[in-house]
Structure formats: structure tokens, C-alpha cells
Chains A and B, each alone.
Chain A
Amino acid sequence: MADTKAVTIRTRKFTTNRLLSRKQFVIDVLHPGRPNVSKAELKEKLGRIYDVKDPNSIFVFKFKTHFGGGKSTGFGLIYDSVEIAKKYEPKYRLVRNGLDTKIEKSRKQMKERKNRSKKIRGVKKTKAGDAAKKKK
């Protein structure tokens, strides 16, 4: 139902960044009456506008809605190919696009390990030490 309202996308400050082989621009989204436009929808629309073969090489981020609603501004990048995107993009954005998986690190375990290794000085293997101390 919310999709029936018109969403207008305008891109500003469009530059072609040959060094990182991508196109970067500022996106202005006008969505009167709607709370916010999802990133997936934005990617699909951008793909249509710029004739992008692989929608996975489009990245949109840092969207902020202006006061009063109806307008939001953010940034967008379109890479030449997914391989190049994997090379240059930060990990969290790749995870958002589904091109990478997040490694779940338990913070508690990491902190415990760090505190254990504080007691030992030098190149001694803390791993073996951990196991031994755990058994205790």
C-alpha cells in the first residue's frame, strides 16, 4: 500500500571515480507521505536508471531523513563489477548486500582470552595455556 505513493530519486554530484572504478553520487529521495524508502527498493530503482547488469554492485548508505519527512539524502556507489566491489568495499557493506558473511565472534570469549594472556609474558603459547588453565 505504501508503494502506491510516488517516490522520486534524483542524483546529484555525479562523478566517475576511475581510480576505484566506480560511479559515486549523492542521492535525493523524495517520498511524501511515506516514512522511508528501503535500500533494496532504492537499489532496484537505481539499477533501472543506470542500466546496471548486476544489482549487487550497487551500494547505498548513510541515508538521513530531513526534518518534517518526505525527503532523505544519502550516498550511492555503482561498481563496474562485483569482483571490484569485493576488493574495495568495507566488510559491513558487503555483508549488507549479501556478498559476504559475518563472523560471529563472542566478545566474552575474546575478552577472557585477552585477560588470560595478560598474565603470561613473552612468546609462550597462550592457547595451550588457556586449555590448561580452563581444566584447573
Chain B
Amino acid sequence: MCKCMSVCCLFVFSEDQILLSDCASSLAVQAYLRMCNLPVHVSCRSNAEYMSPSGKVPFVHVGNQVVSELGPIVQFTKAKGHSLSDGLDDVQRAEMKAYMELVNNMLLTAELYIQWCDDTTATEISRPRYSSPYSWPLNQILAYQKQWEVRRKMNAIGWAGKSLEQVYEDVSQCCQALSQRLGTQPYFFNKQPTELDALVFGHLFTILTTRLTSDELGEKIKSYSNLLAFCRRIEQSYFEDSQAGSSSRGYSKGPSLF
């Protein structure tokens, strides 16, 4: 019998500080927790990254345990008896994990690339936002350090040589794959949402509602109408009941899909 979990506290960056990739990950975790009907309280901290056990936001604090990132959070809630993917057979579970890796591999990496490896975006948006809570000279040091870290990672996985056009093309192909997999179904695995739906929603919604230096990324996604309908459906089902200043609106820096 699943014991009712004590309220979990989700830690993210504050609204002025948060960037596209972190926002997407946070929204994915929130969507997942809402889909599991678990009460969640969102707490904004500027040092959330340093509090997290893995160095990545978001992370949840429940009782005396701290778990970060969607994968471990899903396993943690499963251990407590709340799971969305129990009804899937082995082949479907394999597909679900594969598609989650596709989103992480393509969409998340593309978001990081656009934020930190594209000079215009890095100078105008990413560095100022990331270092906003700190004073000089710490803000310069931290911002450049983060940029250097991300560029090293891009180098290691072979994305450093890509141009922005190629990255947009990769995102488009990824969205095409997701769109074809979704088809006309309400969720990826027919009637019930799973963690894959939460992850895809988090990334797509954030990209659609964030203003960057260019709108091309959002336009790529808008060309797939079933993905738009999917995002709208999840927003209406799981985020509509929040008050004004709700968590979903709190992260959108542009108009919401509603």
C-alpha cells in the first residue's frame, strides 16, 4: 500500500536566473509529479545548483532525502509506490527509455548549445541571467566558468564543430521523430501519460514560451501540430488549476499557449 508521501519541496533557480535548459528540466519534473498526483512545493534559490547532489537542477527534498534529475526522481517515486509506467510491457518500456534518451541527447544538448556556444545568446541572455544574483567580480568568473564547462562537454561529444543551422536541423529531426511516434494519440503510450510525456512537455513548452535571440527554434516545433496540441492538452490537464502566478506561468517569459 503506498504511503502518502510528505510534501516534497522542489528546488529550482529563481525566475531571473533560470535558463532555458534548467527551466525545461524543472518543468518536466513538475509535470511528472503532478501526473503522479503528488503535492509539490516549488522553492526558488539562487544556489540551487550547489545544493543539488549531482550539481544539476532541479532536485527534490523529501523527508531526509535529496534526489536530483528526472531519472532518479522517477526511480525514487517508484520505490515509494507511485509509478506511471507500470502498465507497460518490456518492449514498450524499452521504447519509452529510448525516446527519453533521444530527448536528452538531442533537445537538451541543443538547448545547452544554443545557450552557451552561440556567442550572441551567451552574451545577451545566458551570462547576464546566470550571474544575476552575484556581484562583480564573482558574476564574471562564474558565468565564464559555466560557459567553459559546457563548451568542454560539447567538444567531448562532438557538437563543437556544429553550426547553429545544423543544431536547428537536429532539433527539427528530433521533433519529427516525436511527432511521428505520437501520431494521433493523446499521449505517447495511448491513454495514460508516462514520464516520457512529462519530459517532452517540459522541453517543448519551455522552448515555445521562451524568448531567445531568434524565434527559429520555436517555429520548428510549431510546424508539428500534434506536438502543439499535446503541450496544450497537458497544460490544461495538469497546470490549469494553479492560481495566478502559477508555476507554469512563472517560468514562461513569453505568452503561454493557452
> Do A and B bind?
no
